[in-house]
Structure 1
Amino acid sequence: MSPTTPQPVDLLIEARWVVPVEPHGVVLEDHAVAVAGDRIVALLPIADARAAYAPRERVELGEHALIPGLVNAHTHNPMTLLRGLADDLPLMVWLQQHIWPAEAKVIGPEFVRDGVELAVAEMIRGGTTCANENYFFPDAIGATYRKLGFRAVVGLPVIEFPTAWAKSQDEYFERAAEVHDVFRGDALVGTAFAPHAPYTVSDESFGRIRVLADQLDIPVHLHLHETAHEVEEEKKKSGLRPFQRLQKLGLVNDRLIAVHMTQLTDGEIAACAEAGVSVVHCPESNLKLASGFCPAERLRRAGVNLAIGTDGCASNNDLDMFGELRTAALLAKAVAQDAAAFDAAFALRAATLDGARALGLDARIGSIEPGKQADLAAVRLSDLETQPLYHVASQLAYATGRHQVSDVWIAGRRKLAARELVDLDVEAVLAKARAWRERIAAG
């Protein structure tokens, strides 16, 4: 092959703007991304790309920003089927008197499968290409993500009381090991331990998790310091704040994905930064349940890796990461009393690369760089809602709606084409959702 012969590639995406996220804050005009198989092979000006590559497929996006696929760093996606079931209630009333009883009546592999399928359809149409999942029946959850070609880290649940998934502490761990083995080395689906929260998990279980997480080289994903009530109850019980208890048990380290974190001291923030803990900010769920305010800007300034999650649809009530990152940025400014806090470029980073870093996937996804997986989303910015356009990052963070996502790829495979889901039957997904609504509403 001569030096001037164009190199064959599978896909060349030409965009008006490319927002690679790394380097931070950069917006590239009239650039193209070349993809071979599941990987990005080059990011370069469109004219250079046309000379260098002979693509099997060319996609021209003359009015779009191409961004890394969004990473939803905390979800309970089967709960999509409980969307709007019990609104306007505080956390413990919502959870203990409504959600857990409803789940007990229907939870099982079929409920989980159909809920994840509905969630995947919603996430893809909103530009999300990866989710950090926390729910029961992770075997069915992982199998559904794998079937649909969606990237996910699937939580291996641990909780101290019997559920439909496991009846004893030993069974939770036995089943966790089985599920981990099923997905070990999978191209799209990974695993993490998912102890529910300090108030529902014993010291003994946490000790087992710490040892096994190290052995299996997987993260630990849990709710932590979600409410002031949680912190006070733990202090009454053990004399420690929940974070202090996890420190004592050896779980405050770079494997920890701590979700919510609305109640934090300066010392705890510093400890998170020093240990390499990732914090997942779920602003809309925290607002809706009146759980409190995560000190996101203080965490950012301290150097803590900060990701963004929607939480589940039963407490949000959507999986809209564009809405979530906008709320995260606005709320951070109000909490910090600083209009410059949590700026647009950082909001996009928290929803992409820093989310990937929390999941241990930042070497593979989260930015548009050669060698990384081609998880990409195209956002049409020509709509009247995003005109006139002065700054691309600001428009994406503060004005863009998820309906402007036109095209999505996961590992180089097209999942959304001109707003149409490629390999999901929307009518079938909706029919299943309506059937579950009838069953759950009937009690």
Structure 2
Amino acid sequence: MMPTPVDLLIEARWIIPVEPADTTLEHHAVAVHNGRIVAVLPTAEARLRYTAAETVSLPEHILTPGLINLHCHAAMTLMRGLADDLPLMRWLQEAIWPTEARHASTAFVRDGSLLAAAEMLRGGITTCNDMYFYPEATAEAFDRVGLRAVLGITIIEFPSQYASDADDYLHKGLATFDAWRDHPLIRFALAPHAPYTVADATLERIGSLADELELPIHIHIHETAQEVEDSLRTCGQRPITRLETLGLLGPNLIGVHAVHLNDGDIERLALHGCAVAHCPTSNMKLASGAAPVARLLDKGLNVGLGTDGAASNNRLDLFREMQQASLLAKLSTGDATALPAHRALRMATLDGARALGLDHEIGSIATGKAADLCAVHIADPDALPCFHPVSHLIHVLGRHDVSDVWVAGQQRLQGGRLLQITNTELLSTARLWQNRLRQ
């Protein structure tokens, strides 16, 4: 039988496909054609069955699905380190909101998102679920470097440089949705900022629109204890109960942070099949607390991982989030078996895809899915020996070990070098905004 032509054959020392669970394949290859995975099979067999226009050999590498950042504010990369060592509300009120009032613009968001997209691709992130103003500028930045994204149509009640009120946010966001709806890598979500910044009538409207347009809802919930106390005082309900009353809880809801949960909150989230975006580093840095991830998983909730923005993290680094999530779960439960390495990787890949309604498309290395892939090089003596590759990914290796990245079969990172943009341009952009914000 004649070999079948394909566009790309990637041969790797190890492949961790995420599906089936707890699987590590040795000396296997991934065949890619028209941006999709057509086979995952032993390398020797792949060489007989396929003839590739391009073959990439990764003899000292782990190949994983591209990582999925389930919660980010990409443009806030321009405010990295601007206001450290402050609790959430002081951080927002004294630093972030005033800076945004002075500087937020199409150019600010486009440039900040470009820096963020470059950082994420270099760290093996191939999909970003973003929430910020001027989503059309974020779309332009992500499109330029070829990052897959779900962009939030951000809604908040108070005015900003971007919009005057909730109706204006929705009107402008939906116009961007219409303009980009046919893009192969860009999708959208409705993104009310948080229960404490969005009114009941607006939340009800968002719930109806989400059903009508079949979009996810991306919202901060129960990030701080103060948020819950304020809701009880002003609304007579905990925020999650309020969202349930308004009809927003459901399989399309991604609740970000979900730190301060009681048993009733967890039961409600589980009953409605909601997803949670766990952001361990940001939660620790802002002293917001530790989300009860082990309890959420025990209840069958789908939990993905997010970095939050670089202003509160200060890195868009899912390798660090995987490790922090695993260690924090062990520490908070007193159980060394909590959140093992395979589960941490699944949270950063397939579980994130599931939360976005994209698990049929991305999140694992499986036949028929888009070829969103990340290669991690194990060559440094400090990283050897390697007995369990998936454990190495979580507890030894980092984003600096990512060598190659593909999105929909198109290479975006090669040998650690971005192919769509230069470091010279990125450095110039970062320095320009540093000078503007310093003034």
TM-score by length of structure 2 reads 0.99
- What's the secondary structure of 2:204's corresponding residue? helix
1:315 equivalent in structure 2: 312
1:158 equivalent in structure 2: 155
**Residue 205 of structure 1 pairs with residue 205 of structure 2:** no
1:17 equivalent in structure 2: 14
Residues 250-329 of structure 1: pairs in structure 2 closer than 5 A: 250-329=247-326
Unpaired runs of 5+ in structure 2? none
Mapped partners of 2:199, 2:227: distance in 1: 15
Mapped partners of 1:252, 1:335: distance in 2: 27
**Residue 431 of structure 1 pairs with residue 433 of structure 2:** no
For residue 228 of structure 1, report the CA deviation from its aligned partner.
Answer: 0.1
Q: Deviations over 1:347-396 (max 9, x none)?
A: 00000000111111111000000100000000012322321111111111
Q: Deviations over 1:135-183 (max 9, x none)?
A: 0001111122122211000000100001111112221221122111112
Mapped partners of 2:98, 2:294: distance in 1: 37
**Residue 138 of structure 1 pairs with residue 135 of structure 2:** yes
1:28 equivalent in structure 2: 25
Q: Deviations over 1:190-217 (max 9, x none)?
A: 0001100011000010011000000000
- What's the secondary structure of 2:38's corresponding residue? strand
**Residue 377 of structure 1 pairs with residue 374 of structure 2:** yes
1:72/1:355 contact within 8 Å kept: yes
- What's the secondary structure of 2:171's corresponding residue? helix
- What's the secondary structure of 1:134's corresponding residue? strand
1:64 pairs with 61, 68, 71, which one? 61
Residues 193-232 of structure 1: pairs in structure 2 closer than 5 A: 193-232=190-229
For residue 267 of structure 1, report the CA deviation from its aligned partner.
Answer: 2.2
Number of matched pairs: 439
1:65/1:380 contact within 8 Å kept: yes
1:107 pairs with 99, 104, 118, which one? 104
For residue 184 of structure 1, report the CA deviation from its aligned partner.
Answer: 1.6
Mapped partners of 1:41, 1:270: distance in 2: 40
1:14/1:30 contact within 8 Å kept: yes
- What's the secondary structure of 2:132's corresponding residue? coil
Letter in 2 for 1:410: V
1:121 equivalent in structure 2: 118
1:406/1:416 contact within 8 Å kept: yes
Percent identity of the aligned residues?
Answer: 52
Mapped partners of 1:290, 1:170: distance in 2: 33
- What's the secondary structure of 1:55's corresponding residue? strand
Mapped partners of 2:2, 2:297: distance in 1: 47
2:358 pairs with 352, 356, 361, which one? 361
- What's the secondary structure of 2:362's corresponding residue? coil
1:313/1:319 contact within 8 Å kept: yes
**Residue 77 of structure 1 pairs with residue 103 of structure 2:** no
1:173 equivalent in structure 2: 170
Q: Deviations over 1:243-263 (max 9, x none)?
A: 000010011111100000001
Mapped partners of 1:98, 1:149: distance in 2: 32
Mapped partners of 1:65, 1:18: distance in 2: 6
1:87 pairs with 60, 84, 87, which one? 84
Mapped partners of 2:269, 2:343: distance in 1: 19
Q: Please, what is the CA RMSD of the aligned residues? A: 0.8
1:298/1:336 contact within 8 Å kept: no
Residues 38-57 of structure 1: pairs in structure 2 closer than 5 A: 38-57=35-54
Q: Deviations over 1:3-54 (max 9, x none)?
A: x111110000000000000111100000000000110000000000000000
Mapped partners of 1:361, 1:386: distance in 2: 33
- What's the secondary structure of 2:215's corresponding residue? coil
1:385/1:400 contact within 8 Å kept: no
- What's the secondary structure of 2:437's corresponding residue? helix
1:6 equivalent in structure 2: 3
* Over 3 Å off, 4+ runs: none
Q: Deviations over 1:78-101 (max 9, x none)?
A: 000100000000100000110110
- What's the secondary structure of 1:207's corresponding residue? helix
